[in-house]
Structure formats: C-alpha cells, structure tokens
Amino acid sequence: MSKQNQPYTFRYNSGEGAMHKKLKALRGEVLTFKKDPFLNELKDCVEHYKDGIVVIKGDTIEAVGNFSDVIVSFPALTDIATYEDSVIMPGFVDCHLHYVQSPMIASAGDTLLSWLKQYTFPTEAKFKDKKFAEEVAKIFFRQLLMNGTTTANVFATTFEESVDALFEESARYNARTICGKVLQDRNLPSDLQDSSAEESVMTSERLLNKWHSKGRQLYAVVPRFAPTSTRLQLRLAGELYQSYKDKGVYMHTHLGEAENEIEWVKSLYPEARDYTDVYASYDLLGKRSVFAHCCLMEEREWQTLHDAECGVAHCPSSNLFLGDAQFRYWEAKDVRRPCKVGMGTDIGGGTYFSVLRQLGDAYKVAMLHDRYLSAAKSLYLATRGGAEVLGLEDKIGSVAAGYEADMVVVDLKPTEFIEWRMQFADDIFSKLFILQTLGAEAYVKATYVAGEKVYSKV
Ligand code: GUN
Ligand code: ZN
C-alpha cells in the first residue's frame, strides 16, 4: 500500500488463538438479533446489554450477556478489551458485491446496461492478470474490514485467477467468504466471454472442488445474469448447482434491477413467464440461491422465491447511483410469503463499502414510497438477515454462544460533530440511526474475524 502512517492497522489472522483455544473477552455495549423483526415483535428479536461482555474461546463465542452475570463463570479471565462509547455487534454481512469493480467504483455515466459496457466489462477483462487481481483483492478486503464487514458474497469475473486471488486473500484473514467464477458466454466483449458453456462450467467445478469448505471459504455458481448466458450455460450451471447444493454450495446472480434489463430478458427468453422463471426453468433456485436487486418484481415472482427459500440482496446505493429502480421491502417481506432479505453494497454500482451506510440509503428509498424502515429492522438486515440469506444463521450474523467470533466494534463518537449530536439521542437504535444517516468515514473501532482482531483504528 502506498499510503503509509494511516491511523489504522490490519493484521492477517494468525490462527494461534483458535489453535490454543485461548480465552479472551470484549466488554462494552452489545447489540444483536436472534429473530426477524419484520415477522416478530421487536422485543422478541433483540438482545441488548448496556454493560455487556462477549467471551471468546479460540475462534468461537463462548458466552454473551451482562458483564456482572457472565464474569462470575470465568474467574481466570484477564484478557478483556474494554470498548467505551461503542457498540459491539455481529460483523456486517454483505450479500452482494463485485470485488472486480473496485477499480471503477464511482464511474459517472449512464444507467445499468450502458454503464456495464462502458466501464465494467473493460475493467473486469484486466483480471486475467493474477498480479492485478491480487492487488485488488488486497485493498478490497481492507475496505471490507475497516467498514466492519466480516462476511461477503462476492462476484469475481470470468477468469480462474480472479477467483483464486479473492479466496487466497480471504483465507489470510480466515474470513467466511463466498465467491465463484462468473459464467458469461454471450453478449459481452470477447476478451471477457467464456470460450464455451461446457468449458466454463467445468472450470467452475474445478474451482468449487479447490475452494468450497476449505477453511471458511464457500463456493458459488455465478451466472452473471440471464442476458449474458446461453441457454446451454444456464442449464449446465443449474446442473452443477443442483449436484452440490446439499454440500452448501451457492447460486448467485442478478434479478429485476432495471426496466430495459427486464425487456432484454423477455426478448431473449420469450418462452419464460417472467425473469424469475428463466432461472427457475434452469434449476437455479434453492435455499442458497441469492438474487441481487429484485426491484421490479411481479407478485408471482416473490411467491416463487419464497417457495424455493431463495434470498434477496437489497442494494440501495447501487440502485440510486445507476438510477434504475427501487427495492420495496414491504413487498419482499409480505407476511403471507416473506422472503429472506439482506443488504448488498453492490460495489461498484454501489458507491461505498459500508453496509451501515447502505441502511441510510435503504431508509431514504423506502421513504420515497411513504414507507418507514426502522433502524432496528435495517440493522437486522445488515447482520442476521444477511446470514439467513446465506443460510449461515446458525454460524454468523448474531453474537451468541457457539457462533463464529466475527464482530464489529462500532464507534458511537467517530467525529466531533457526531459525538456532539449523540448527546441528544438516548436509545441505541436512535444512535445507530444517526450513524447510518450521517455516514462517518472511520466509524469502526475494531473488527474481529474468527476471534482475532484483524482491523483496528488507532
Ligand atoms: N447486472 C449484470 N451485471 C451487473 C453488474 O455488474 N452490476 C449490476 N449492478 N448489475 C448487473
Ligand atoms: Zn451486482
């Protein structure tokens, strides 16, 4: 990194603590969710300890609760990091983003399809070069961690090198990351296009066998979106997904983002009832299928996603930046057929890595439709909601005993003005709402991954 002497530090995960099952703890205000507040009373969903403690054994959370209650069970515990004016939360979950778009984030221009042609495709073509991919993966992970994101569901691009570089960097932090080779064999520049559907899916399977469940890494079958795959590629992708989905492999793609995208899908697949039906007819739906955007959806498409237990990534920053369409959480979460929803930054359509700041945008796009999205509900989307989308809600997304120790320490006083503003807020949700709305740069004090502090603001 060229910029030296920054007031923050990163450290790769040593694995030492996990190996020796060392005991340590974080003390401070703790906030976490155990259920979906869109479907349950808020009081049954939240756990909040004003003076709390999280005891970590190796890479796993051993105990959580009020400091005075929990500490009596750990008389020998001396390694306690105390965080004041902060809140300890589960690490944020980013359900959809493209690390390969980090070099072209904030490129001004046009709506989705022409933006892809003008900026995205030429940038992604550079990722055949492993060195370039490694450089981007490195800065990308630093951005995730300094924004408190501990799990991400990441698009690479066509080339094996782009997948290897991302997983290699993730493994250095021992982060739980999902990634896969992007399948795209038509309607793209030739230097980015797969040479054949068969070859592309064979490469995916090879990468899947190399990376899936290696440490905390997880593999996804990733057709970019229906317009850039032939029918044969979607069919083979569906077969690959179906044969590995019981082993926890994912399917990750885009759906219903923009009007002209949907028109294009209809012209390419006139036999399909709707856009979702294209993916359904190639067997791409399932418990670990994740669809980014879902802004323009028919009622029957929501029903299909609900029935197949698919997950949805809400990406408001990207939808605003590209000026396409807006997600309607009240439709996605309709209690008659609720869908699993998490947040996605959709870098580089989205313009910042912070999942917390996405919540500020999520609030505003709901307001455009006279809908109120509370801080509590949106914080759930950023943590446990995302974990549910990824089918990992028994491992990450909550601060609870037995969970993987991925946590963020959010600074409630990151700037002079926010510190001053906070005196007029009393409850934790009002404070976090201020933070998500005002959007400070360095609002994370520390990020813990698998029990180790991998990022800290000093
Ligand atoms: N649809 C297909 N590819 C992309 C992409 O790279 N970004 C976004 N926002 N939408 C897409
Ligand atoms: Zn995307």
Q: What is the pLDDT of residues 329-352, one digit of tens each?
A: 999 999 999 999 999 999 999 999
Compute, in angstroms, the gap from residue 112 CA to the centroid of ligand 1. 7
What residues does ligand 1 touch, defined as CB less than 6 Å away? 98, 112, 116, 120, 224-225, 254, 257, 318, 346, 349
Q: What is the pLDDT of residue 349?
A: 97
Q: What is the mean pLDDT of the chain?
A: 97
**What is the tens place of the pLDDT at every residue in 219-243?**
999 999 999 999 999 999 999 999 9
Nearest CA to ligand 1 atom 1: 254
- Looking at the CA of residue 346, tell me the nearest atom of ligand 1: 9
Compute, in angstroms, the gap from residue 300 CA to the centroid of ligand 1. 23
Compute, in angstroms, the gap from residue 317 CA to the centroid of ligand 1. 13
Q: What is the pLDDT of residue 3?
A: 57
How many Cβ atoms sit within 10 Å of the Cβ of residue 262? 19
Compute, in angstroms, the gap from residue 144 CA to the centroid of ligand 1. 20
Compute, in angstroms, the gap from residue 25 CA to the centroid of ligand 2. 37
DSSP string for 200-247: HHHHHHHHHHHHTTSTT-EEEEEE--GGGS-HHHHHHHHHHHHHHGGG
Q: What percent of the chain has pLDDT over 70?
A: 99
pLDDT of 89 higher than 70: yes
**What is the tens place of the pLDDT at every residue in 267-324?**
999 999 999 999 999 999 999 999 999 999 999 999 999 999 999 999 999 999 999 8
Nearest CA to ligand 1 atom 8: 349
**What is the tens place of the pLDDT at every residue in 377-420?**
999 999 999 999 999 999 999 999 999 999 999 999 999 999 99
**CB-based contact 108:315 (threshold 8 Å):** no
The DSSP bridge pattern shows strands 407-411 and 444-449 to be antiparallel
With tokens 């008659």, the residue in question is 336
Query: Who wins on pLDDT, 8 or 371?
Result: 371
Q: What is the pLDDT of residue 110?
A: 84
Compute, in angstroms, the gap from residue 95 CA to the centroid of ligand 2. 10
Q: What is the pLDDT of residue 22?
A: 86
Element (H, E) at 449: strand 444-449
Q: What is the pLDDT of residue 4?
A: 56
- Looking at the CA of residue 261, tell me the nearest atom of ligand 1: 1
Nearest CA to ligand 1 atom 5: 116
Among the listed residues 163, 77, 174, the one whose alpha carbon sits nearest the alpha carbon of residue 406? 174
Compute, in angstroms, the gap from residue 347 CA to the centroid of ligand 1. 10
CA distance 162 to 256: 26
Which amino acid is it at 324? D
- Looking at the CA of residue 225, tell me the nearest atom of ligand 1: 2
Nearest CA to ligand 1 atom 7: 349
Compute, in angstroms, the gap from residue 292 CA to the centroid of ligand 1. 9
CB atoms within 5 A of ion ligand 2 belong to 292, 346
pLDDT of 249 higher than 70: yes
Tell me the CA distances in angstroms from 281 to 15, 26, 78, 201, 231, one per residue in order: 43, 48, 57, 18, 10
Compute, in angstroms, the gap from residue 171 CA to the centroid of ligand 2. 23
Peptide bond preceding 348: is omega within 30 degrees of 0, i.e. cis?
yes
Nearest ligand, measured from the Cα of 124: 1
Q: How confident is the model at residue 19 (pLDDT cuts 50, 70, 90)?
A: confident
- Looking at the CA of residue 101, tell me the nearest atom of ligand 1: 6
Element (H, E) at 362: helix 355-367
Nearest ligand, measured from the Cα of 112: 1
Nearest CA to ligand 1 atom 9: 349
pLDDT of 436 higher than 90: yes
- Looking at the CA of residue 254, tell me the nearest atom of ligand 1: 1
Nearest ligand, measured from the Cα of 94: 2
Q: How confident is the model at residue 18 (pLDDT cuts 50, 70, 90)?
A: confident
- Looking at the CA of residue 349, tell me the nearest atom of ligand 1: 9
Q: What is the pLDDT of residue 5?
A: 63
Q: How confident is the model at residue 1 (pLDDT cuts 50, 70, 90)?
A: very low
**What is the tens place of the pLDDT at every residue in 139-189?**
999 999 999 999 999 999 999 999 999 999 999 999 999 999 999 999 999
The CA angle 151-315-179, to the nearest 5 degrees, is: 35
Instruction: Mark out the alpha helices in 76-186 (DSSP H runs).
Output: 112-115, 121-124, 130-146, 160-173
Q: How confident is the model at residue 125 (pLDDT cuts 50, 70, 90)?
A: very high
367-371: which pairs have CB atoms within 8 A and are 24 or more residues apart? 368/326, 369/326, 369/328, 371/328, 371/329, 371/330
Mutate to test the pocket of ligand 1, among 110, 120, 294 (most ligand atoms within 8 A of CB): 120
